[in-house]
Amino acid sequence: MTTFAIIGAGPGLGQATARRFGREGFAVALVSRTQANVDRLAAELAAEGITARGYAANARDSRALRAALDAAAADLGPIEVLQYSPVPADDFMKPVLDTATEDLVGPVEQSVYGPVTAVQHVLPGLRELGRGTILFINGSSAVTPNGNVTGTSIAFAGESAYGQMLHVALAPEGIHVAQLIIPRGIGGGEPDHEPDALAEHIFSLHRGRGAFRSFVGEQRA
């Protein structure tokens, strides 16, 4: 059995995606900041017959993130699919004219340093498997900068560039890198933005192994 590891696990999209991959026979590693939260999510999945465990790590803490990924691989089996989708903090989203240098530290740690840490740590295992998928899940500011959410816009742009370069560099090795842009947030009454529909879309990126970037619904500026 191989493992689907999600960094930024939560009760909405994260749990829906974990369930979707779990139904396909993957073990599921749920990584988030609070152990009690990921334990609860893992118990829900286990009750459905899915092998799942939770690991506490802040995506901004490189040492804790690497330790969580190591523990997941040791407990559940080698990581074949990595999803990076932690939710940005509210203070990452200040207006552009109110954003100082120090306001960019958190967003860059989470959306640039975090992905690089995670990818570099799982990459040897993916190469040993000879296959794998790395998934980045972002909002629209990753491709259309929004001056009302400056830190996230800047950091998501860096994450997008990193992912796109990985897509090109790793394709010859059989490792697929993809990004899903969710333009209008999760839920809100739009069927294709609901967690289960998004989870199906995310699974199709793993299975389809197509272009780097795709959008949910129609892109809006």
* Cβ atoms of residues 28 and 49 within 8 Å: no
End-to-end CA distance of the chain: 41
Q: What is the pLDDT along the chain (221 residues), one digit of tens a residue?
A: 999 999 999 999 999 999 999 999 999 999 999 999 999 999 999 999 999 999 999 999 999 999 999 999 999 999 999 999 999 888 898 999 999 999 999 999 999 999 999 999 999 999 999 999 999 999 999 999 999 999 999 999 999 999 999 999 999 999 999 999 998 777 666 788 899 999 999 999 999 999 999 999 744 33
Q: How many CA atoms lie within 13 A of 107 on its CB side?
A: 25
Residue 147 identity: G
Domain parsing of the chain, residue ranges:
3-215
Instruction: Report residue 161: phi and psi, to 5°.
Output: -65, -40
* Cβ atoms of residues 216 and 182 within 8 Å: yes
Which stretches of the chain are DSSP H helices? Answer: 13-23, 35-47, 62-76, 105-108, 114-129, 150-170, 195-208
* Cβ atoms of residues 38 and 9 within 8 Å: yes
What pTM does this model have?
Answer: 0.94
Looking at the domain 3-215, which fold is it?
Answer: Rossmann fold (3.40.50)
